[in-house]
Amino acid sequence: MRVGEQYKVKIEKLSNLGLGIAKIDGMVIFVENACPQDELLIKISKVNKNFANANILEILNPSLHRIKPFCPMQKVCGACQLQFIDYDYQLKIKQKIVQDAMHSIGGIDIDIPLPVASPEIMEYRCKVQYPVSQTKVSKRLIAGYFKQKSHEIVNIKYCPIQPNICDDIIEFVRKKGTELGISGYNEKTHSGELRHVVIRYSKFNQKSLVTFVVNSNIISDSIKKLSKLIFAEFNSVSGVCVNFNQNKNNLILTNNTICVVGDNYIEEKLLDKIFKFGPNSFFQVNPKSAENIFLYVKNYIKNNFSNPTVFDAYAGVTTFGITLSDVCSKVVSVEECKEAVEWAERTVHDNKISNIELHNMDAEKFFEQELQTNERKFEITVLDPPRKGATQKTLDNVLKLTSEKIIYVSCNPATLARDLKYLLSKGAKLESIQPFDMFCHTYHIENVAIIDLKDVNK
């Protein structure tokens, strides 16, 4: 097999990265923008030892599940990899992705139910992070998502998966920012003023918080003026902030943010609790789908325990701990981001919650401290680590601190399968896995795993 060769193939399934999988003489071929059951004419673009990559030259016989994307930029923009597949079938594909990860990585054979569908599949994404650049000749600002496998910005005027107001704000930034002479960021030369525009949107009150990420340690008069113009133009904008980022890396937001005008926070409602959070705080990008997860976990605890003690690890703004507080005797929350803990304190106060203990420290250090200085154990640990999953040391410590159940929340089936394999080797039992579709039209899938610890030797 060589680069440039053409083949007719039929797509069997999708990989965990959303690529179509076909086979030629036993060789696995990964094909972009392919749907299971597509019959395609492909051209080999790269050959490796055990697999090859290919592009579609012609769709010979499309899958019954292939549809016209509702966004005209779908093939160019790298955000919605599965938008050309009907939504019901997307859920089946994600179910299969989780099943395959459990089997191939974790050695776990368990029936995975269909993901719980997102209540909204359009305008669901409530966090927008657009990189900003500018045209070479006219110096017009451009903003959008990166083209697939590149750092070339696609200048997106309309994105149907985010609220319309976000498009309006971004267009205002392009126009007024250009008029004010604000320069867009050049990644290669590390020059230019405006690196990103970040918008947080609230489904609860339809307010937006705008943050400009600047390649500077001061606020220029132009950025200050643009901030005030946006605040005056859009009644729905609750505040405009500036984040200072002079790092030569892909980090979008640093910890250095100040508010220029209006409020430095936004509010969102999850179940019956109202949360406050700032531009740097992690918060679910799909609040409606997040509510399904919180309700699922809350109902599980309510139906299986009587006022348990719960440990909320990697807590962020303590969304789990706060939404679960009604069915727990005590929640102990740990988060290393100081700002997130400060917002959690405000949310706890505003919602008149009295049974949450908040800690601002590294989770690993907290584990060690608890094991050395306290004899308390938690009946349940809610473990919601970053995409890379948990370390074995973390898992060992959670096993020592938890008497009954781990509720492991994961956005990465591969690292979830790896961590479950380790926990099962220690005597834990996997009770269930329920996927939730948080990121419609992408290959990403959230999972909640319930793990029983009664037979673990501690």
Positions marked catalytic: 411
Domain boundary among 208, 243, 270: 270
pLDDT band at 458 (very low <50, low <70, confident <90, very high): low
- Work out the mean pLDDT of the chain and round it to a whole number: 94
390 domain-assigned: yes
Q: For 188-197, what is the mean pLDDT?
A: 95
- Higher per-residue confidence, 57 vs 78: 57
Q: For 177-186, what is the mean pLDDT?
A: 95
358 pLDDT above the threshold of 90: yes
266 domain-assigned: yes
- Quick: pLDDT tens for 67-94: 999 998 888 887 899 999 999 999 999 9
In one letter, which amino acid is 69?
Answer: P
92 domain-assigned: no
In one letter, which amino acid is 20?
Answer: G
5 pLDDT above the threshold of 70: yes
Q: For 6-26, what is the mean pLDDT?
A: 93
Could you tell me the CA-to-CA distances from 263 to 131, 224, 258, 358 in Å, in that order? Answer: 23, 15, 10, 24
Q: For 108-118, what is the mean pLDDT?
A: 96
428 shares a domain with 404: yes
324 shares a domain with 245: no
58 shares a domain with 193: no
pLDDT at residue 309 in the model: 96
85 domain-assigned: no
Residues 326, 267 contacting (CB under 8 angstroms): no
pLDDT at residue 147 in the model: 80
Residue carrying structure tokens 């809610």: 382
- Quick: pLDDT tens for 315-325: 999 999 999 99
256 shares a domain with 191: yes
Measured from the Cβ of residue 401, the count of other Cβ atoms closer than 10 Å reads 21
Report how far Cα 97 is from the mean position of its chain's Cα atoms: 17
241 shares a domain with 316: no
294 shares a domain with 441: yes
pLDDT at residue 79 in the model: 85
80 domain-assigned: no
Residues 312, 321 contacting (CB under 8 angstroms): yes
259 domain-assigned: yes
Cβ contacts of 27 within 8 Å, gap of 6 or more: 1, 50, 51, 52
- What is the domain count for the chain? 3
405 pLDDT above the threshold of 70: yes
224 shares a domain with 131: yes
439 shares a domain with 340: yes
Strands (E) in 245-292, as ranges, are 257-262, 266-270, 273-277
As to burial, measured by CB atoms within 10 angstroms (0-12 exposed, 13-18 middle, 19+ buried), residue 94 is buried
Residues 258, 242 contacting (CB under 8 angstroms): yes
pTM: 0.93
pLDDT at residue 304 in the model: 97
pLDDT at residue 102 in the model: 96
What CATH number is associated with residue 15?
2.40.50.140
Domain boundary among 240, 270, 300: 270
- Quick: pLDDT tens for 258-292: 999 999 999 999 999 999 999 988 899 999 999 99
Q: Domain range for residue 43?
A: 1-65
- Quick: pLDDT tens for 116-164: 999 999 999 999 999 999 998 889 999 998 887 778 888 999 999 999 9
Strand 194-201 relative to strand 127-134, pairing: antiparallel
Measured from the Cβ of residue 186, the count of other Cβ atoms closer than 10 Å reads 14
90 domain-assigned: no
Three-class SS state of 48: coil
Secondary structure, 3-state, 165-183: HHHHHHHHHHHHHHHCCCC
Nearest 5°: phi and psi at 84? -85, 5
